[in-house]
A and B are shown apart, each in its own frame.
Chain A
Amino acid sequence: MSDLSNHETDQKQNINLRKNHLSRILIYSSALILAVYLISIGIAPLHKIGEIKKMVEADTVFIHQYDSINDHPEIISAIRKKVYTAALLKLSEMDSIQLIVNLHDSLVCLSINGVQIHKTPIQSIENDKLLKMIPNREYLNLFSGPIQIVGQNSTIVKEPIVVRQAPKDTIEASLNAYKPDTMIQNPAFLSLQLEHGLKLIFEQDIDSYPGAKKARRIFRIKLWLDKTIQSLINFVSLKKQEYIPTLVIKMPPDDLRAIYRALPANAFVVIYYD
């Protein structure tokens, strides 16, 4: 009887040991996967700068003409100003409304055919570490011309279209007389995806409207979720993690709304910073 119970106890212990062993393996592998995942995300900026360097080096004309004196600390500011002005001139040759982000003067402007038709002061800027640290040669190549906006997301609609059915007679027309917009607006947050894997985020001053804080939280969570899902997909499919250098700019809500509604699809942007 006691032998039998000993045997049962041994069996239970064996099962427990096996379970523990399995759970150990599971934990080790999960931790390893998590570590690899985090490291892959951590080194993503290196891949990004590698990509940028590769892109710049592929531009043989630029590389051939590039003078190393441009890397001199006294020259950097002047050469960037020249590149910016030249980019504005290129932008002025486009006949639709375009965007200018001038972090040097803390201004965001709308421009058409070289005329700056709207200027708005930037309230605050969060510049990406990678963009701040980018070598001057890469900066000059990247921002030497207008950059195309390849995608736009916003918490407000581009065109606030109201569909109305025509009234059947004058009585119905007088009953459905148009009541003008009361100008109550939703909080505005805007994300622009640019060429070369860059991103521009415009946020309104959160104290301007009730509910703006909540809207910003939702907007940011959505962006974070998109980024996380994409990074998980990349990880699972053994692709390189993407790092998206992002500029976050805060401005008054009315200006943000005007800028978003004015920009056509596939507009261009000129970016300038020191």
Chain B
Amino acid sequence: MNKESQLYKVFQNKLATRRWAEFKVHLQTLSTWLWKGILRSWPKAGKVLAILLIIGCAVVFPILVQNSLIYLKLYQKEITFQQEEKVQATKIKLEKDVSLLQRKLDAKIPKGNYLIINSASNEFTLFKGDQRIKKDKCSTGSYILLKNADEQEWMFKTPKGEFRIQGKTTSPVWKKPDWAFVEDGLPVPTINHESRFEYGVLGDYALSLGHGYLIHGTLYQRFLGLPVTHGCIRLGDENLELVYKSLSVGSKVYIF
């Protein structure tokens, strides 16, 4: 242990002793204050007590907390200084470890294009690696819980998490599910009834996320940026084309 380290250790010890002394002085002051302030001025006790309660909450409490935290410093383990070379070697090793870990983390970021959907602000961001290609409005689930007389329920929310593009189609046809008829006050037709098929309502392209959730276009461009969908993600025409061309089957989509 060199002279400088020894001096530092002595300094640390002195500092700790001084803090302990300061803490004791604070305690003494507090007890004197309590004794003089409360016990001897008992005729005005009601007022004193009320003031004490207020001061107790507003002043004494933080002081006590502060003092106990100063005392806490005494718990700090004494630093044992090693030789400077060991310190430098450890530092270099740590930096290497960090860069190795960072590389492992970076490997988790998709290399190709991927899409991030913010369902709270109804925005999407298209990325390539860590480079942002496009950020714009979209529409996500409305959080409407639709109930019918038969006690059936449908929740219109966009799922959150990591997804992959399962399939891509051009000029998609919407096969209306049951809730689309229930929502319009219409009787639910048979599973392949012609009234279930609607053309042109999903825009020029659709990308499937699985479980019936799609990224598609919309006729209601004015609602972009608002939570109005039945769980799917709606994009404007230009953005839909860009996303369709940028993402391939297997590309990742992150929704939060």
Residues of A bordering B, CB below 8 Å: 23-24, 27-28, 30-31, 34-35, 38-39, 41-46, 49, 53, 67-69, 71-75, 78-79, 81-82, 85-86, 88-89, 92, 95-97, 110, 112-115, 117-118, 129-130, 133, 135, 137, 159-173, 178, 180-181, 183, 254, 257-258, 261-262, 264
Contact = CB atoms under 8 A, between A and B. Distances in A.
Contacts of B95: 78
Interface of B: 34, 38-39, 42, 45, 49, 52-53, 56, 60-61, 63-69, 71-73, 75-77, 79-82, 86-87, 90-91, 94-95, 97-98, 101-102, 104-105, 108-110, 114, 116, 118-121, 142-149, 155, 157, 160-162, 182-186, 223, 225-228, 252, 254, 256
Contact of B71 (A46, A67, A75, A112): A46
A27 B108 contact: no
Contact of B77 (A79, A135, A163, A257): A135
A85 B98 contact: yes
Contact of A69 (B64, B82, B161): B82
B77 A72 contact: no
Contacts of A46: 68, 71-72
Contacts of B146: 164, 166
B142 A42 contact: no
Contact of B228 (A78, A130, A178): A178
B102 A85 contact: yes
B100 to A, nearest CB: 9
Contacts of B161: 95-97, 112
Contact of A43 (B64, B94, B108, B145): B64
Contacts of A171: 185
Given A49-B75, A74-B87, A42 B65 contact: yes
25 contacts: A30-B49, A31-B52, A34-B52, A43-B68, A45-B69, A46-B71, A53-B75, A71-B80, A72-B79, A74-B91, A75-B87, A78-B90, A82-B97, A89-B104, A96-B161, A112-B256, A114-B109, A118-B118, A129-B65, A129-B66, A162-B142, A163-B147, A166-B182, A171-B185, A261-B256
B105 A180 contact: no
A31 B49 contact: yes
Contacts of A178: 142, 144, 228
B143 A161 contact: yes
A96 B252 CA distance: 14
A40 to B, nearest CB: 9
Contact of B105 (A44, A69, A88, A96): A88
B120 A257 contact: yes
A159 B68 CA distance: 42
A16 B61 CA distance: 36
Contacts of A73: 79
A133 B118 contact: no
A110 B160 CA distance: 12
B148 to A, nearest CB: 4
A258 B184 contact: no
Given A79-B94, A81-B98, 8 more contacts: A34-B52, A44-B68, A75-B90, A115-B110, A129-B65, A167-B185, A180-B228, A264-B160
A266 to B, nearest CB: 15
B38 A68 contact: no
A86 B121 CA distance: 31
A164 B147 contact: yes
Contact of B144 (A45, A68, A164, A173): A164
B223 A180 contact: yes
A166 B68 contact: no
Given A118-B118, A180-B142, A72 B61 contact: no
A204 B75 CA distance: 36
A89 B223 contact: no
Contacts of B75: 49, 53, 135
